[in-house]
């Protein structure tokens, strides 16, 4: 597809939900969720829901399933629970909900992280996929990781004005059969 056919002159604002996964954070102390909300709103998108859930596999699935089923939610950003510890269960909670996993997201995120934090990037299990036409992204719980993901990947993929094909250009075709 030629680059010009993927580009628009006007931003197509997306409806985005943000979920923070943590046993220890409160809404007031949720720096990662706050950073994602700030970035998405500064980019011209709309925050349609925000929540904080503990590291509980079934509560995570229930919350994200609710948003995936809601036609008004186009993107779900999840921060937290992607590490290797016993309580980190976000990938296990989300993978069964995905129609298609976008493996390149995690690969690119770890590459960008490696440039910032070195080999500690191997502990990230960041992932993304599509479920019921909704983009679902799972990020580590640190503000730095959320900044890396937004600035290095999501800002461009969620901006219809960018001069290359991106996620927004694919959205109308995500539920084709």
Sequence-distant (≥ 6) Cβ neighbours of residue 130 within 8 angstroms = 98, 99, 100, 102, 136, 174
Separation CA 120–CA 135 (nearest Å): 26
In a domain, residue 111? The reply is yes
In angstroms, the Cα distances linking 154 to 56, 96, 105, 144 are 26, 23, 10, 14
Question: Are residues 32 and 144 in contact, defined by beta-carbon separation less than 8 angstroms?
Answer: no
In a domain, residue 107? The reply is yes
Number of domains in the chain: 1
pLDDT tens digits, residue range 86-119? Answer: 999 999 999 999 999 999 999 999 999 999 999 9
In a domain, residue 117? The reply is yes
Sequence-distant (≥ 6) Cβ neighbours of residue 83 within 8 angstroms = 123, 124, 125, 140, 141
Domain that holds residue 49: 3-172
In a domain, residue 46? The reply is yes
| pLDDT value of position 6 | 57
pTM given for the model: 0.94
pLDDT tens digits, residue range 116-135? Answer: 999 999 999 999 999 999 99
| pLDDT value of position 3 | 42
| pLDDT value of position 2 | 42
Sequence-distant (≥ 6) Cβ neighbours of residue 108 within 8 angstroms = 152, 153
Question: Are residues 169 and 160 in contact, defined by beta-carbon separation less than 8 angstroms?
Answer: yes
| pLDDT value of position 8 | 64
In a domain, residue 95? The reply is yes
| pLDDT value of position 163 | 57
In a domain, residue 131? The reply is yes
| pLDDT value of position 4 | 44
Could you say which residues of the chain have pLDDT below 50? 1-4
And the tokens for 74? Answer: 């186009």
In a domain, residue 177? The reply is no
**CATH code assigned at 43:** 3.40.980.10
Question: Are residues 137 and 151 in contact, defined by beta-carbon separation less than 8 angstroms?
Answer: no
Separation CA 57–CA 94 (nearest Å): 9
Separation CA 154–CA 124 (nearest Å): 17
| pLDDT value of position 9 | 76
């Amino acid at each position: 597809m030629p680059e010009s056919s993927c580009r628009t002159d006007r931003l197509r604002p997306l409806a985005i939900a943000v979920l923070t996964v943590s046993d220890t954070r409160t809404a007031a102390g949720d720096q990662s969720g706050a950073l994602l909300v700030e970035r998405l709103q500064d980019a011209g998108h709309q925050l349609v829901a925000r929540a904080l859930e503990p590291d509980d596999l079934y509560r995570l699935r229930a919350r994200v399933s609710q948003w995936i089923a809601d036609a008004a939610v186009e993107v779900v950003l999840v921060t937290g629970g992607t590490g290797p510890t016993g309580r980190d269960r976000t990938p296990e909670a989300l993978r069964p909900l995905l129609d298609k996993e976008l493996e390149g997201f995690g690969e690119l995120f770890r590459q960008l992280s490696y440039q910032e934090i070195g080999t500690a990037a191997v502990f990230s299990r960041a992932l993304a996929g599509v479920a019921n036409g909704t983009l679902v992204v799972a990020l580590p719980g640190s503000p730095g990781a959320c900044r890396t993901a937004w600035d290095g990947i999501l800002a461009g993929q969620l901006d219809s004005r960018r001069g290359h094909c991106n996620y927004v250009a694919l959205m109308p075709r995500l539920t084709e059969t």
